């Protein structure tokens, strides 16, 4: 299920990126439509990054060693 979510997010990211680029060419970078699309794209990218971060966790012992390193 998680792979499907990541795939759907990647498709949405691609579509928002394409729309943002096309709108920026047509209306300019500061147009409210472009800014709104950029903000939504940021949210999607953050969500995708959180999914990736959740899949990567350091083993407990390594994390403890890292935190106690001076």
How crowded is residue 24: how many other Cβ atoms within 10 Å of its Cβ? 17
**Fold for the domain defined by 2-68:** MYOD Basic-Helix-Loop-Helix Domain, subunit B (4.10.280)
At 27, list the tokens: 């209306």
Taking CA atoms, 31 is separated from 15, 34, 42, in Å, by 18, 5, 17
Q: What is the pLDDT of residue 61?
A: 55
List, for residues 28-69, the tens digit of each pLDDT value.
Answer: 999 999 999 999 999 999 999 998 887 665 555 555 655 565
pTM above 0.75, yes or no: no
Distance CA(5)–CA(25), nearest Å, equals: 30
What would the pLDDT profile of 1-34 be if each residue is shown by its tens digit?
Answer: 577 888 999 999 999 999 999 999 999 999 999 9
Distance of CA 40 to the CA centre of its chain: 10
């Amino acid at each position: 299920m998680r792979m499907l979510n990541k795939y759907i997010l990647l498709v949405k990211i691609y579509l928002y990126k394409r729309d943002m680029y096309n709108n920026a060419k047509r209306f300019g970078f500061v147009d409210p439509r472009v800014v709104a699309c950029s903000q939504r794209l940021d949210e999607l990218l953050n969500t995708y990054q959180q999914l990736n971060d959740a899949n990567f966790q350091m083993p407990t012992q390594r994390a403890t060693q890292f935190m106690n390193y001076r």
